[in-house]
Every structure is written in C-alpha cells, then in structure tokens.
Structure 1
Amino acid sequence: MTAASSFSRYLKSLWRFAGRYPLTACLIYIAVISAFFLVFPGVDIAVSRAFWSPETGFPAAQSDFLVRLRHLGPHLVRLIAIAAGAVILVKLAWPDRPPLLPLRVPLFLLSTLALAPGIVVNAVLKDNWGRPRPRMVEIFGGDAPYVPVWHIADYCEKNCSFVSGEASSGIWLVSLAFLVPAAWRKAVVVPTLALAFALSLNRVAFGGHFLSDTMLSWGITLLVILLIHRLLFVHCPRWLGDEALDRALTRAGHRLRRFAAQLADRVKA
C-alpha cells in the first residue's frame, strides 16, 4: 500500500468519524488547532510574514479586487439574514396564512448568526481577549508583542484579532447546507467552504488576523451551528417545533394587528 493510498484511507476514516460524531469532531478540531498554535507559534508569524513587506506593509490591503472580495461575505450574510427575517415578518403581518418556510429554518439561520459571529466571536472573544492584530505587532512594524492564542492581553481594547469575525461569518454560510436535501448538500458545501477559505485568507493577507484566528473561528462557529441544529432538528422540544412556532407567531401577529388598530383609533381621535 502506497503512502498516498494510506493517507487517503486515513482522511476517509476521519470524514466518516466527523459525519458520525460531528460535535466530538468539532471539539477535537478546536483542541488540536489550539494546541498546535500554542506549541508552534512561529507558524502564525511565518504565514503572516509571507504577505508582508518591510516597504509596503501588507500590500494586499491596497488591492481593489481583494477589498471587493472582503465585502462579498458580509453582503451575502446580510442577504440571507434579511430573507430569514422576512419569512418571520410576513408570518406576523398575515398571521392566518401558512409560513413561507418551516419556521425552524429562519430561526436556525438567525439564531446561529446572532450567537456565533455576533455574541461568541465578536462580543465575547474579539472585545475581551485583547490580542493585537498582525499589523499591530512589532515584527510587522507595530508596537505590540505577538500574543499566543487564548492568552488574554491588554494590547488591544476592542475589535481585536482573536478570533476572526469575518472568518466566522464566512463559515456561517455553511449553515445553509444543514437545511437543504441531502442530494444538494455537496453542491452547497463546496462553494461555501471555498468562499469561507478565500475570505479568511484575505484577512490574513490584509494583516487583519493571524492564521490561528481564522482556523479557530471556523471551529467555534461550526460548534455553535451544530449545537443549535441538534436543538432544533435532532432533539427538538415540542415548543420549538414548526407547529408550535406557527401558533406562537399567529398569536403574536393577531396581537400586533389589534395594537395597530387601537393605535390608529387613538390617532383618529
């Protein structure tokens, strides 16, 4: 057996394990990536150095194409969030009509977006860990030291390097694959993963994040997605089922209509 075939079989066994135990695989991924960059911090520095020049800093940040690419990810995230929110708003506006989609779908999309990129990545980690971005580090012309992953520091006050918000938003797009039929999943996963990788590498090239920031952001975001998916679709309590959500939004829609009618009467009076 050749080394290539052995490696291929090893990858297939890892893929099967991840498919059978996705939460465990995700936790192992976070632990392994964390340990790797703690033991080999030079990898972070070497990857960032590949995009840095003593004369121009991180020149990729001046590329019009790469700047436009950076904006593509947030634009797609906003479109999906608006579409998910519209499903709920339409149900509230016309409460007696069936929802445009099963209501767990927009709930899954909006809750994972709010919890992973919104709360865990940006509000908890980026605003409290204080890791300076590569362009702030002495090696790359800044005035702060390199800080390893998971080390809390005070070299950055808000919106810091650890972990990457845009990498989190990019990998969040993979949540769409959890909602499509099994036959379509590969067609969704491949382009969304490719885009997430491109957006994440873009941030490294800009000097905005270390490689470890992006790779750990992927794992943390996927962990939140897997937990919410398990709650809503695998072990869903009755009060979170589509019928229960439909009834709840129907009642809420009727209350909003009554409130709007009362408000209109007061304005007329």
Structure 2
Amino acid sequence: MERDSHPNHSQKSGLRKAGNWCVAHPIALVCAYVVVVSLFFLAFPGIDLKVSNLFFFGEAGFAAQNEPFLRDVRHLGPFLVKVIAVVCVLILVIKLVVPGRPPILPLRKPVFLLTTLILGPGILVNAILKDNWGRPRPRSVEEFGGDLPFQPVWKMTDYCDKNCSFVSGEASASIWLVSVAFLVPASWRRAVLAFVLPLCLILSANRVAFGGHFFSDTLISWGLTFLLILIVYHLLYIKEPPLFTDRGLDEWFTVKGRKLQRLVRRLLVRSRRSLRGAVRIFSDR
C-alpha cells in the first residue's frame, strides 16, 4: 500500500510545487502563455477559421451582430471602462484643486488604473498592434464573404491600414477590468472576479461572434494586456522601493495643486485689473 501511494504523493507534491512557482512568478507565467498561444495559432492557423465559422451563416453572415441584445451587451464593457477612468481622473483632479485635504483614495490606485489603461488597451493594443499589423477582420476575409486573404497571427501585412483585427481592443479593455481586483480589499476580490471574468468572456466572445475578431486575437490580447497589468503592479506595489508611494504621490499632487492655486489667483487678479481698466475707459467716455 505504501508503494502504491508513493507515486500519487509525488504527483501531488509536483503539482503543488508547480502551483507555488506560478504564484511566485506570474509575469513569467503570462509570458509563457502568450508564447504558447502564439505558437499554437502559428502552427494551426486553421483553428481561427473553424472557430469563426461556428458563427457564420452563409448569406446571413455573422448574424449575431444583428441581435439588439448582443449589440447592447457589447457597449457594457466600454461603459464600465469609461466610468472607472473618469472616477480615477476626478480623484486626481480633486486632489489638485483641494491640495490641503487628504485624497479620497490612496493615489497609487487611480495612477495604477489609468497607467495600465493607457499603456495596455490604449498604446500597446490600439496604437501599436491594431494600427500596424494589418490583419483583416474575419468578416473581411474571403472565407466569410470578404475580398481579403486570411492572415495568421503576428504577420505584418498591408491588407488593413488602421483599426485591424490583431489584436482585439475590446478583449483588452475587458480583461483590463480585472485590474480592479488588484486594488480592492482581499475579502472583495472573489466577488469582483466573479463579476468581471464572466463579463470578460462574454464581451470577448461577442466580438468573435460578430466577425470582428478571430479567436487568437482575443486570447493573445488577454495575455498581453494582463502582462502589462502585472508589470505595472510590480513596479508600483511589489518592487522595493516602489516606483511611486502613496505618500510621495500625495506630496507631489499637493505641491502641484498649491502651485495651480497660486497661478489661478494671479490670473484672477490680472483679470480683475483688466476688467476694472476696461470699465474706467468706458465710464470716461
């Protein structure tokens, strides 16, 4: 009996060590994910066509895009992203306008969210990849009624000039919502992930069903965006010393806010003087 249980014990021990390594090295794990997924779709590019074909209905095309409910669902992700971004900007602006008061939240939180949003979905996905790799969207390729040839992942072409298929911007924005879970109290994280992860899957699958992106566009977009989130989180919260501290940001915004107040006061004084001068000129006439 002891001999029979030994292999199971070794297997459990190996799985435990692998799990611990993954937890200790999340950035390396996500890098490996991006590489493996990329290599898989480069080796089997036809998988993209087969997945998209599940949602293609001949003359009706990608019929899901004509469903009002699914179109409404598509707007939910961008709406949530905008709400979070606006709240983060307001927190920073309020600190600048009222520099003497403590911030509503520790300032690393809005800085983390805005930085990852700008660098991930904004610059990396939309400005660099989507506008330069030139991969046609599924609804534009010959296999689905379009006039452009299908292109595999990571292949730069000139078949699409801007806002192309590789990678998915909405998949990137939806997985970015996971960054909120990094900042909430530990007791809230499961609830946040229980809401965000299914939403991410629905929004990303929606784009594939609409013929807007290939399956690989979504999977790689998730990996690249989450990788950037992990890197920024490491720089702001794990690295010793961190790139910025809450106290350092508070002091910086306090100094800049007071400078802004002095500038506004000077401008108001000049405006009043100019207004008085104009009133005197007209009164003399």
Name segments (4+ residues, structure 1) moved above 4 Å.
9-16
Structure 1 position 186, deviation (Å): 1.7
Q: Matches of 1:12 and 1:42 in 2, distance apart?
A: 36
* 1:107 to 1:80, Cα distance in 2 relative to 1, 3 A: same
Q: Matches of 2:15 and 2:147 in 1, distance apart?
A: 42
RMSD: 1.9
Q: Which runs of 5+ in 2 are unaligned?
A: 274-285
| Mapping for residues 57-206 of structure 1, pairs under 5 Å | 57-206=61-210
SS in 1 for 2:59: coil
Equivalent position of 2:32 in the other structure: 28
> In the alignment, does 2:249 pair up with 1:248?
no
* 1:121 to 1:236, Cα distance in 2 relative to 1, 3 A: farther
For the 8 Å contact 2:138–2:212, the answer to whether it is kept is yes
The number of residues matched between the two structures is 264
Structure 1 position 182, deviation (Å): 2.3
Q: Matches of 2:16 and 2:47 in 1, distance apart?
A: 27
For the 8 Å contact 1:238–1:244, the answer to whether it is kept is no
Structure 1 position 190, deviation (Å): 2.3
Q: Matches of 1:18 and 1:52 in 2, distance apart?
A: 38
For the 8 Å contact 1:230–1:236, the answer to whether it is kept is no
For the 8 Å contact 2:207–2:213, the answer to whether it is kept is yes
For the 8 Å contact 2:27–2:227, the answer to whether it is kept is yes
> In the alignment, does 2:247 pair up with 1:232?
no
Q: Which runs of 5+ in 1 are unaligned?
A: none
Larger radius of gyration: 2
Q: 1:55 aligns with which of 33, 53, 59?
A: 59
Structure 1 position 11, deviation (Å): 8.1
SS in 2 for 1:259: helix
Give the letter for the 1:21 counterpart: H
Structure 1 position 21, deviation (Å): 1.2
Give the letter for the 2:151 counterpart: V
Structure 1 position 266, deviation (Å): 1.7
Structure 1 position 238, deviation (Å): 5.8
Structure 1 position 17, deviation (Å): 3.7
SS in 2 for 1:55: helix
Q: Matches of 1:218 and 1:133 in 2, distance apart?
A: 18
For the 8 Å contact 2:235–2:242, the answer to whether it is kept is no
Q: Matches of 2:246 and 2:254 in 1, distance apart?
A: 12
Q: TM-score, normalised by structure 1?
A: 0.94
Give per-residue Cα distances to partners, 1:118-167, cap 9 Å, x unaligned: 00000000000000000010000101111000000100000000000000
Identity of aligned residues (%): 52
* 1:118 to 1:187, Cα distance in 2 relative to 1, 3 A: same
Q: TM-score, normalised by structure 2?
A: 0.89
